Amino acid sequence: MTDDWDRRTLKTILAKFYCPAIIENDKYYLDDDSNVYYAPAEGDYESYLDYIRSLPFVAHPSVFGMHDNVDITKDQASQVVTSAVLTVGKSYTDQILTLVEHCVVNTNSCILYTEFL
């Protein structure tokens, strides 16, 4: 999270997941465009695994309330990061670890669950 817009976006996304309706409804749908993504009703361990296995490998942006064009932006950003990593002498793994460390160190605040209640 780098700025107020990131924080606002994250809060909007998390508000959909942290709400009373997710517990109160048998199937709380997370994606308005399909019936694939929902919080399954209470069940045994195997039922949760079965549901998880039924999900698509790559989540559609609409499950997070985002437009299809988000995939285009994500792909462009991925190409930029990959290009930047390849132009530096360190290994790809070392560069990713450095990037993650930078993100962790420079994140000033945590988003608390209580902000969504």
Decide: pTM greater than 0.85. Answer: no
What does the angle CA 29 – CA 34 – CA 36 come to, to the nearest 5 degrees?
65
Average pLDDT over residues 38-48: 88
Amino acid at 23: I
DSSP SS3 for 82? helix
State the Cα–Cα distance between residues 77 and 13, nearest whole angstrom.
Answer: 20
Q: How confident is the model at residue 47 (pLDDT cuts 50, 70, 90)?
A: very high
Q: What is the pLDDT of residues 69-93, one digit of tens each?
A: 766 665 666 666 666 666 666 777 7
Q: Considering its fold, how many domains does the chain have in total?
A: 1
pLDDT at residue 108 is higher than 90: no
pLDDT at 116: 43
Q: Domain range holding 16?
A: 4-116
pLDDT at 46: 94
Average pLDDT over residues 103-115: 57
Smallest CA-to-CA distance from 115 within 11, 23, 30 is with: 11
pLDDT at 59: 75
pLDDT at 50: 93
By residue count, the chain amounts to: 117
Q: What is the pLDDT of residues 6-40, one digit of tens each?
A: 888 888 878 878 888 888 888 888 776 777 888 88
